[in-house]
Structure 1
Amino acid sequence: MSDHKVTIIDGKAVAQTIRSKIAAEVCRLSETYIKVPGLAVMIVGQRKDSQSYVNMKRKACAEVGIKSIDLDLLENVSESELISKVHELNVNPDVHGILGQLPLPKHINEEKILTEISLGKDVDGFHPLNIGKLAMKGRDPCLFRPCCPETCYYILTRHGITIKGKNVVVVGRSNIVVLPVSLLLLKEDATVTMVHSRTKEPESIVRNADIIIAVVGQAAMIKGSWIKPGAVVIDVRTNAVDDPGKKSGYRLVGDVDFQEACKTAGCITPIPGGVGPMTVAMLLKNTLDGAKRVIEG
């Protein structure tokens, strides 16, 4: 096994390429129409992880010239107040994308809020109608495909990995990533299996996969022995594990045991620096596409 070579996908470099193209397009819109895309980023409460994601998204907007419209709301905001904020953004002509950072506080019905976001501004692709269109064969494509699933698809196509006829195992059960990525790859003629906490013998199912997409939120759950030689591994979820050697007291790892996986996988996304930066780039791309539909008609 010592001569095994694994391809480690540099998400930061790929994201930078996508962002350069977006920046050039934003510049063109600005020069031609004196208008730039606007993204409203809405956060409720003080969750540390949510705040860091939101800051990353706002910073990314600034870097490509997209106008970030910031809404920082208190944890105890009422559902009706939040809905009226969404309605204001829906009719604001400077806003081409609306992003509600999830999870929302317990007293707010997430689906209700997501349903209120205008379809043409649903850059996260979470609106039930967008997900529904993704699920239905032969229907009009949804306006926006969810960013993280779209990133997984982009990684596969960009690296020339055939999806058709392949065994794809998605580990996890989230609505935000697992369901849409499964639907997306099913559309591309993959055979998709979802493995979750109630699955019997998950190891044997994962070992049969040509492509593994891990979205569990459990540090290093997927061991090297679970991975078929040459399989493609896309590690999505970031987990913080204690590390007294680090200044912060923790380090970030994925759901896949990276060191072990590198011994058998054909290619793999690392954490950090894999899917994360590319997902933010996809969000910017969706915002740009939404703006172009409005500005260019």
Structure 2
Amino acid sequence: MNTPLWGIDLGGTKIEGAILPSLNDAEAILRMRVNTEGSKGYQHILSQIQTLVNRLKQESGLQPQRIGFGTPGVLDPVTHTMKNSNSTALNGMPLKKDLEAMLQIPVEIANDANCFALAETHLGVVNEKYPAARMVFGVIMGTGVGGGLVIDGKIWNGLHGIAGEWGHNFLDESGGPCYCGKTGCVETVLSGPALQRYYKSITGNDVSLKTIVQQQGTDEAAAATIKRLHHFFGKALSVITNMLDPDVIVIGGGVGNIDSIYTEGYESLRQHIFNNRLDVAIVKPSLGDSAGVFGAAALVG
């Protein structure tokens, strides 16, 4: 009998836990959520995690041997403290050490983009359609832009713990300043808010990305915004394709729901890569908002 896999997705507003029967079964035994309440500080976040784990134990009647955690930001492999987290209470904190002391079991930690890539590899679209894939690059294009790399079914974290951080490669000066301190990052060009800013720079109007997509047939500024997306999507992903040459690229996040990136965006990628043809599959994910917590569980699979 397989040992159930426990995963917790630590988000900015909610903490979700799930227990999966195995790495091959996405039918969760149990899923639960609590509010993060991050504004109350780091120790409160830890106490919310403890509350969730206790509830999962009580409801399931199971005891975890290990727990995987998906987190905003990453655990620095040298200092063993969190960095690059938009949940700022976590930054500089020894999260893994503190969780293990609190829960009295081993834990594994990976950032949310890596968990997304891992979940889609084992339990989602890659497993369904490309089971022989050895290298998978997972992209999240939403409020921010991130990426995660899975090789032979395992997350590749890299020497600094930043492998896959595609969103903070330089793309184009026109993106302007990024919160990371640099200018023209992929995130400043391809994120949802970046596309909305570009549209506003042309029209002076604040509209949603959904409206921009809907109006591109009748609104020249909307059409120009989506054309810009296609161009820079291909240009940005060409760096990943040239450097890593993955078998599959999975596109998550709200921007990933724009159908034309899989046609016009794909054509832009074809034009920019260092090859005379493009074979890599670029696909939508199949797990939806389950990917984070399922990927966390897959860390201990």
Indicate whether the TM-score tops 0.5.
Answer: no
TM tier, smaller: 0.3 to 0.5
Q: TM-score, normalised by structure 1?
A: 0.41
